[in-house]
Amino acid sequence: MTTYAEIAVIVVAAGSGQRAGGGIPKQFRNLGGMPVLARTLNLFCAFDFHSVIPVIGADQFDDFENVLKFVRADVRKRIASPVLGGNSRQASVLNGLQALVHSSPRFVLIHDGARALTPSDLVQRVTEALQTNDSVVPALLISDTVKEVSPSGMISATLNRNKLRTVQTPQGFRFQAILDAHQAAVARKVDGLMDDASVMEWAGLPVRIVPGAAGNLKITTVDDFEIAERQIFNERQDIRVGQGYDVHSFVPGDHIWLGGVKIAHTHKLNGHSDSDVLLHAMTDAILGALGDGDIGVHFPPSDNQWRGMASKVFLADAIARLHARGGVLAHLDGTLVCEAPKIGPHREAIRAEIASIAGISLDRVGLKATTSEKLGFVGRKEGVAAFATATVRLP
């Protein structure tokens, strides 16, 4: 019986291809609220694999750091430090394999970073077939007729499609066998092999196919991004709205925190953390949309580790919970109710800070302010109230 702990995963994401547009390599482009590569890594981190090794380009370490922010925090530790890619896909895979030599897993899955929608049952299918095969590749039947064409644009042959398959990743191998085959190919100066199955074929070793999945799209072109976004959202979208409310009272002091921005004031807000009433309401709004308790459940005031804590930690945690569910934040909207301080002069700074903490664009952050016409506790300048709404999209 093969266990996931015996299998390492190499995710090849070193390409610089920009056919998908956006001015950055496709694996780092936003796909439905998070980078393509983050979706791919989340897929494999959901299993208890030996390790997940990303292979990236020399100038892609900053992009990769950003990707990690979107990987489920509870399983992020399964991702190893990224390995530097080579001049070709084949060279990049070999670098990934060599990074595994010291730990020598029994098997390895090799996956294209741009296949971000791979169904988990396909991963299981490849893994299970490794029990009885050294090389396993997911393959699809072809429904179109395939022609061989001459350079002059004339058909030179019609291939028998019954004997043809298109192949996908993840491709699974016995680790030592694929490492030996890759090293032998380099030693013989054989390069340009199109996938890892080709390396095994070149080495004369048998490769088993298992059924692939039609939805296992290799996201390459602008059109692919549109298809992939539809696949993620239009078919499975679950839009939810959550609300939050919070109040903190004034006590003697000289500043308050609102939306992660420090504002000079005649008082401060009383509370256990930095008492950022707006971020507390927004945190609760996200938790509400997720049906995942409230800020007091996750950060109990009785727990001293949260004393004086910057409330952006709470908002970031709620967003990590959202990402862990495969969701994205569509918008955050807040209303502050106070007689003083005046919010207008700070509105844009607060919006920008919230957008930064939440990892969303500025146009997805709303902030309004009102007084309560001198009525009630707010009207008596005894404190600040905040209302918030969050819209999230879950798969």
Residues at the site binding Mg ion, with contacts judged by CB under 5 A: 246, 280
CB of 355 to Mg ion, least distance (A): 21
| Of residues 72 and 280, the one with the C-beta less far from Mg ion | 280
Q: Is the peptide bond before 119 cis (omega within 30 degrees of 0)?
A: no
| Of residues 246 and 353, the one with the C-beta less far from Mg ion | 246
Which residue's beta carbon is nearest to the bound Mg ion? 280
The residues, ordered by sequence, that sit 6+ positions from 332 with a Cβ below 8 Å of its Cβ are 282, 285, 286, 354, 358, 360, 364, 365, 366, 388, 389, 390
CB of 367 to Mg ion, least distance (A): 17
| Of residues 12 and 385, the one with the C-beta less far from Mg ion | 385
Strands 171-174 and 107-112 come out as antiparallel
CB of 271 to Mg ion, least distance (A): 6
Give, for 159, the enclosing helix (H) or strand (E): none
CB of 177 to Mg ion, least distance (A): 58
| Of residues 114 and 318, the one with the C-beta less far from Mg ion | 318
Number of residues in the chain: 395
CB of 103 to Mg ion, least distance (A): 46
Quote the CA–CA distance of 60 and 69 in Å, as a whole number: 15
| Of residues 25 and 383, the one with the C-beta less far from Mg ion | 383
| Of residues 56 and 281, the one with the C-beta less far from Mg ion | 281
CB of 283 to Mg ion, least distance (A): 9
| Of residues 39 and 280, the one with the C-beta less far from Mg ion | 280
Quote the CA–CA distance of 330 and 126 in Å, as a whole number: 35
CB of 49 to Mg ion, least distance (A): 40
The residues, ordered by sequence, that sit 6+ positions from 327 with a Cβ below 8 Å of its Cβ are 33, 290, 392, 393, 394, 395
The position carrying tokens 């059109």 is 223
| Residues 280/243, Cβ–Cβ less than 8 Å | no
CB of 359 to Mg ion, least distance (A): 22
Q: What is the dihedral of CA 107, 113, 114, 115, to 10 degrees?
A: 30
H helices then E strands: how many in the chain? 12, 19
Quote the CA–CA distance of 97 and 60 in Å, as a whole number: 20
CB of 236 to Mg ion, least distance (A): 34
**3-state class (DSSP) for residue 148:** strand
| Of residues 134 and 246, the one with the C-beta less far from Mg ion | 246
| Of residues 140 and 309, the one with the C-beta less far from Mg ion | 309
**3-state class (DSSP) for residue 292:** coil
Strands 255-258 and 328-337 come out as unpaired
The residues, ordered by sequence, that sit 6+ positions from 147 with a Cβ below 8 Å of its Cβ are 155, 157, 158, 159
